[in-house]
Amino acid sequence: MRIAIVLRSFPPDIIGGMETQTKNMGTELHNADHDVTVFTKQCGDHDDSDVPYEVARVPHWQLTPFVSDFTFLVVALLTLLRRKNEFDVLQCMMIYPMGFLGYVVNKLAGLPYFAWIRGGDYYLMNDICWKRWMMRRVLNDTLVLAQSEEIREDVTSDFSDIDCDIQVLGNAVSVPDETAYGEGVLYVGRLAPKKGLEYLIKALDGLGTQLTIVGDGSERSQLEALATDTEGDITFEGEVPPDTVDRYYSSAAVFVLPSVEGEGMPNAVLEAMAWGLPVIATNSGGLPTVIEDDLNGYLVSMRDPNSLRERIKTVIQNPKKRKQIGENARQYVKDNHSWDSLVSEVEEIYVKLLMDKGDLEE
């Protein structure tokens, strides 16, 4: 099948969860004999030869974030219309703004499409009237995927006046042959306000446990300043190449995600679980659908450094329980988030869209 995937950013411009997931998904779809093309922003000169499919870098005007997004959407629309006969289906990563792009392409060219709600693209945009209007067009028009059951329920409740076709499909990760057994606390991800890292730093104050923070972002300088004012062994590694992240997972004792806003299904959580790390996370967004408290991880309240501190302390001081929780987490990922399973489910969605259009028969 000929698949077009559109998203705002793509590695190495941004190495976030959605970007990494899309990059790996493209490879897995290619390996399943699909013809994949990814459309994304052009940010500098990139050699995309590390992936076995086409990455179409779309030019845009980087005057402001709004202008950048708007010009990207316009040029991407024109590009997709020009190349419409090259594809069977369009996969839009995020309901806003990519889902609306798919909506317009479908109305002008008849290309079947679906949108994939990742989390922040819905929760951070739903209170803005014109963005909500765009999301309504998509929800009322095509199949939409949600990262978790909580997200599906929230969207269905918020748009209860329309009959939304929303299915739940989370991320997938590869499970390494070995398991982690190291020391200290690990965080991997963007340094952004929604991640709640200030609460993690406060939780580690005087605890005597090392914290390693892997990633970069707008909050780094503030977080580094906060870390210097606390009694803790905190290391900021910055952004590291994806192929070196595994060494951080393998040498940690526990992974923490202290998010304070709606998460979808973060790659880093699944990757940590795949390594056999117990994960401590807040009850944010889709995290409770992945983590069952005291079985394959731990859930704490948002914005509560004291609860976070006590849970970290308990996990670090109980290696036997820590090992069991990690084994349960690893098995959960094997059973529920394999690439084979995700590719199979996405293929079923492609077929459904083409059957609805009439291009395939049962």
SS3 per residue for 71-91: HHHHHHHHHHHHCHHHCCEEE
Does 3.40.50.2000 match the CATH number of domain 185-336? Answer: yes
Residue 361's pLDDT band (boundaries 50, 70, 90)? low
Residue 38's pLDDT band (boundaries 50, 70, 90)? very high
What's the pLDDT tens digit per position in 204-216?
Answer: 998 999 999 999 9
What's the pLDDT tens digit per position in 166-203?
Answer: 999 989 999 999 998 899 999 999 999 999 999 999 99
DSSP code per residue over 256-292: EE---S-----HHHHHHHHTT--EEEES-TTHHHH--
CATH 3.40.50.2000 range(s) for the chain read: 2-172+338-357, 185-336
Contacts for 243 with CB less than 8 Å, ≥ 6 apart: none
User: pTM, whole model, 2 decimals?
Assistant: 0.82
Measured distance CA(108)–CA(29) in Å, rounded: 27
In this prediction, residues 247-255 reach a mean pLDDT of 97
Contacts for 44 with CB less than 8 Å, ≥ 6 apart: 13
At residue 58, the pLDDT reads: 94
In the numeric block, the tokens 């780094």 are attached to 220
Pick from 127-131, 202-206, 232-236: least confident: 127-131
At residue 300, the pLDDT reads: 97
Residue 112's pLDDT band (boundaries 50, 70, 90)? very high
In this prediction, residues 8-23 reach a mean pLDDT of 82
Structure tokens at 288: 């409770």
CB 80 within 8 A of CB 4: yes
At residue 114, the pLDDT reads: 98
- Stronger pLDDT, 48 or 137, i.e. the higher one: 137
* Coil/strand/helix, residue 112: coil
**Is residue 347 scored above 90 in pLDDT?**
yes
In this prediction, residues 251-258 reach a mean pLDDT of 97
**Is residue 243 scored above 90 in pLDDT?**
no
Q: Which amino acid is at 51?
A: V
At residue 307, the pLDDT reads: 96
At residue 181, the pLDDT reads: 82
Pick from 20-29, 31-40, 41-50, 268-277: least confident: 41-50
Pick from 6-20, 66-80, 321-335: least confident: 6-20
At residue 62, the pLDDT reads: 84
Residue 362's pLDDT band (boundaries 50, 70, 90)? low
DSSP state of 66: H
At residue 11, the pLDDT reads: 80
Contacts for 254 with CB less than 8 Å, ≥ 6 apart: 184, 185, 186, 277, 278, 279, 280, 312, 315, 316, 322
For 112, other C-beta atoms within 10 Å of its C-beta total 23
Q: What is the mean pLDDT of the chain?
A: 92
- Stronger pLDDT, 195 or 289, i.e. the higher one: 195
Contacts for 281 with CB less than 8 Å, ≥ 6 apart: 256, 257, 258, 259, 269, 287, 291, 297, 298, 299, 300
What's the pLDDT tens digit per position in 131-152?
Answer: 899 999 999 999 999 988 888 9
Pick from 237-251, 290-304, 319-333: least confident: 237-251
Structure tokens at 16: 């976030």
* Assigned superfamily of 2-172+338-357: Glycogen Phosphorylase B; (3.40.50.2000)
Distance of CA 11 to the CA centre of its chain: 13
